[in-house]
Structure 1
Amino acid sequence: MIPVTPLTHDRPSSLATEISERLNTAIREHLLSAFAPDNTKTLRSFPAPEAAELLGVSGQFLRKVHGEGTIPEPSENRGGRRHYTAQEIWNARDILEQSSRKAGRYVPRRREGENLQIWQLMNFKGGSSKSTTTIHLAHYFALRGYRILVVDLDPQGSLTSMCGISPEIEFDGLTIYDAIRYDDPVPMADVVVQTYFPGLALAPSRLILSEFETESAVHSSPDHPFFTRIRSAIAQVEGDYDIVLMDSPPQLGFLTIAGMAAASSLIVPLTPSMLDVSSTAQFLELAGAYMGVIEDAGATLQYDHFKFLITRDEPTDIPSQQLTSFMRALFLDRVMAATALKSTAISDATMLKQSIYEVVRSEMTRATYDRARSSMDAVGLEVEQMVHQAWGRE
């Protein structure tokens, strides 16, 4: 424990530095105890009913293919009840797909002629749940058999932390900055790391990513425009993934704009409060202006989907529901039908750097867990349907 002593500086600049140093030291100590080198983040196991649901089969069918020896027994059996690791579910998909009469029944990955889906979540209002939504979408898709790449474009690295890498205490690895920097960028494949979550890879972020903002103001040119750099990096690994999810910083800078130029679809999360709606209006006014500028500079912007997602939704809060109805009346199907509920289950999971999909249901109030899980499933399903629409599937 760090001894608490009075702050010694009065000069604002020195005081700010002293506070920063003390905070960083305390954070490192806390993180090193919580995320020690031998304390690697792992994923829970899934009971048979949940595994069957993820595979899209009945419990009876799952027991049948085990009995026939089609898929191997899971490594964990508690009192005669099967529990599966995410990797075992992933492997079962591949096995069942081989014997399926319908292509894509168990492995719904993109097929020849279907373009990589690149979804950017953006808003410059803090607290709009961009990172929380991104990680829930990533886990939703990975559990359903898609190959997912998440790209953390926020120098604060919140998404990176939720993927099991702590930017505050790990400095040696490469980040997305290394793939998009102007001076001797590295191959994107060297940046991407596999996570503890099967099917989910990460292009991590750390504070150094903020240098891209400064460097772009100096080095971007008509021959090497800043807005092509993220898309070019992703293109290097395009064949390895079905869906890319990008979490943007809470500002409209070079990183967010370069993400917009790389994206095939956009989601703008916002909470149903007048302050957030007003802020989002200003954000989109600026975004529209910048889109016009980079289009004039040669960027091609074409989105399959451009949607609003209501986050931190409280069904019993009348003013917020009125504002949600207001948004739907204004923008019709531009507002996603599903909403992300404001839930203690999601808040508690996020505090532990987890999604609702990582939480063991029995460790929470079940009704609270079920509402939160159903909410995030609905958001994931709606985005999945839009992905399939973009691919031309029914």
Structure 2
Amino acid sequence: MEMPPPIEASTPEDLTREISDRLRSAIDGLMLQSFAPDMSKVMRDFPAAEAASLLRASQPFLRKCHQNGTLPEPQNTTGTRRSYSAKELWEFRQILDKQARTSGSYLPWRQDGEPLQVWQFMNFKGGSAKTTTTVHMSHFLALQGFRVLLIDLDPQHSATGMCGIIPEHEYGDLTIYNALTNLPDLHEPMEKVIQPTFLPGLSIAPAGVRLGNFQLESRGGGEFATRLQQAIGRVADQFDIVLIDSPPQLDILTITGMVAATSVIVPLAPSMLDLDSTAEFLDLASEFLATMAQHNQPIFFDKLKFLITRDEPKDGPSQKLVVFLRTLLADHVMANTCLKSTAIQDATFTKQSIYELNKRELNRDTYDRVRSNMDDVGQELRNMIEVAWGREAG
């Protein structure tokens, strides 16, 4: 790597600006290498076995559908070997569901009477893998055929970046802030804020640094806590599941997420510092919930679940804490945990989820272990969502 020229700024404002410019240029360069020449993300193709698994079908069934003309051949076909784009799988779901004996077999969308599921991921301890987990769950559910909306409420906009969107480069700088603010010259309806992603089925209400302004505006009074709930209500009929990535603190943004949420997941690493921080976070959250109840605006959650992240099964001290948490909180702790993995860390370095990586990019055993783990966590979340709809868990 060629050494850049020395930084020669003489004032604090010039110094911070030059460092910011260098970092932004370097980040853009990494994205250019990792995504595509136009800096846009493209989802990888899926081999036939994986495609069949995502459709919850068998490979012989999929081959038969191509042979009898039920499904067109995928574009990427060489001889008898087929691989499928995410867009093709999304289109195949529409075709297969119309011909299925039971509606919803391939498109598991919510039906009349099944309420929109709004799940908030929150904690104010940094390093809990909150954003990483939220994005992975959004990718998992979209690949399962659900219509998913990811709302990034963190001004650091890490979830937005992992979905391939740079707010300051795209869409006229519209973010979720525009749907929350009541400033006439900045407010926009939620429909204009939401953007499609590179993954069919997944849309995002992106974040940006301007979200911090919402903190200041909320000090002027008004029904700020219900703003997100109202914004989601405008687009509720377009989605099955909404996932909210909250900032790592209990502020007005986290609070407006709590008001909108039907369920909450608290990602939690098994360490004493994380336990102590989470206890303090929940204590503050409890005070807010009590205040809302006193003002005749009680908040109810279908589920309040703790998800153990950065789990190291071979680490004795952390496993003692895992057992401690399960004993203390019982069924409020999710059965599955997110394993600590350098594969996940490496993927997020280039703003990717494990679902975007090909097996050949990692050691096969490592990939299978991490992918299986994320699938298990995602399936548990899906089961809870379907139970909330009154369905049997899949």
Assess same fold via TM > 0.5: yes
Q: Distance in 1 between matches of 2:236 and 2:19?
A: 39
Task: Describe how 1:36-55 pairs up with structure 2 within 5 A.
Answer: 38-55=38-55
Deviations, residues 336-372 of structure 1 (Å, cap 9, x unaligned): 0010010111111111111100000111001111111
Who is 1:20 aligned against?
16
2:74 alignment counterpart: 74
Deviations 1:23-55 (A, max 9, x none): 211122123334457231111000000000000
Q: Residue type of the partner of 2:6?
A: T
The 8 Å contact of residues 326 and 333 in structure 2, kept in 1 or not, is answered as: yes
Moved more, 338-347 or 73-82: 73-82
- 1:322 is aligned, of 316, 320, 323, to 320
Q: Which residue of 1 aligns with 2:29?
A: 33
Alpha-carbon shift at residue 87 of structure 1 (Å):
0.9
Alignment of 1:349-360 (within 5 A): 349-360=347-358
Q: Which residue of 2 aligns with 1:210?
A: 212
For each residue in 1:121-166, what CA deviation from the matched residue of structure 2 results, as whole angstroms up to 9, or x when unmatched? 0000011111101110000000010000000000000000001012
How big is the shift at 1:300? 3.1
User: How is 1:139-288 mapped onto 2 (pairs within 5 angstroms)?
Assistant: 139-167=139-167, 169-170=169-170, 172-184=172-184, 185-218=187-220, 220-221=221-222, 225-288=223-286
| Separation in structure 1 between the aligned mates of residue 7 and residue 160 of structure 2, nearest angstrom | 33
The residue identity in structure 1 corresponding to 2:96 is L
The gaps in structure 2 that reach 5 residues or longer are none
Distance 1:199 1:6, change over 3 A: closer
Q: How many residues align?
A: 385
Matches within 5 A, 1:54-69: 54-69=54-69
Counterpart-to-counterpart distance in 2, 1:380 and 1:187:
31
Judge which range, 295-304 or 337-346, deviates more: 295-304
Please provide the CA RMSD for this pair.
Answer: 1.6
Is contact 1:178-1:186 (8 Å) kept? yes
Whichever residue aligns with residue 207 of structure 1, its letter is V
| Deviation for aligned residue 1:103 | 2.1
Q: Which of 115-124 and 96-105 deviates more? A: 96-105
Contact 1:261–1:299, Cα closer than 8 Å, also in 2: no
> What does residue 366 of structure 2 align with?
368
Asked if structure 1 preserves the Cα contact closer than 8 Å seen for 2:31 and 2:350, the reply is no
Deviations 1:162-204 (A, max 9, x none): 0101246558331100001021221100000011110000000
The AA in structure 2 aligned to 1:378 is: D
Please state whether the residue corresponding to 2:151 is helix, strand or coil.
strand
Instruction: Give the match's secondary structure for 2:119.
Output: strand
Cα distance in 1 for partners of 2:340, 2:304 equals 23
Corresponding residue SS for 1:201: strand
Q: 1-side partners of 2:149 and 2:344: how far apart? A: 22
Aligned AA for 1:201?
S
Q: Which amino acid in 1 is paired with 2:163?
A: C
Contact 2:167 2:173 in 1 (8 A): no
Counterpart secondary structure, 2:173: coil
Residues 162 and 352 of structure 2 are in contact (CA less than 8 Å); yes or no, is this contact kept in structure 1?
Answer: yes
Cα distance in structure 2, aligned partners of 1:264 and 1:197: 25
Identity over aligned pairs, percent: 50
Counterpart contact for 1:93–1:145, Cα < 8 Å: yes
Cα distance in structure 1, aligned partners of 2:148 and 2:171: 24
* Distance change >3 Å, CA 170–CA 343, structure 1 → 2: same
- Structure 2 SS opposite 1:237: helix
Rounded Cα–Cα distance in structure 1 between residues aligned with 2:75 and 2:214? 46
Give the conservation status (yes or no) of the 8 Å contact 1:193–1:201. Answer: yes
Out of 288-297 and 82-91, give the one that drifted further: 288-297
Contact conserved, 2:116 with 2:239, CA < 8 A, in 1? Answer: yes
Q: Rate the CA distance shift 1:289–1:19 in 2: closer, same or farther, 3 A.
A: farther
Give TM-score scaled by structure 1 length: 0.94
- Alignment of 1:384 with 2:382, yes or no, is yes
C-alpha displacement of 1:18: 4.1
Q: What TM-score do the two structures reach when normalised by structure 2?
A: 0.94
For the pair 1:309 / 2:311, whether they are aligned, the reply is no
CA contact (8 A) 2:121 2:264 kept: yes
- The Cα shift of 1:79 comes to 4.8
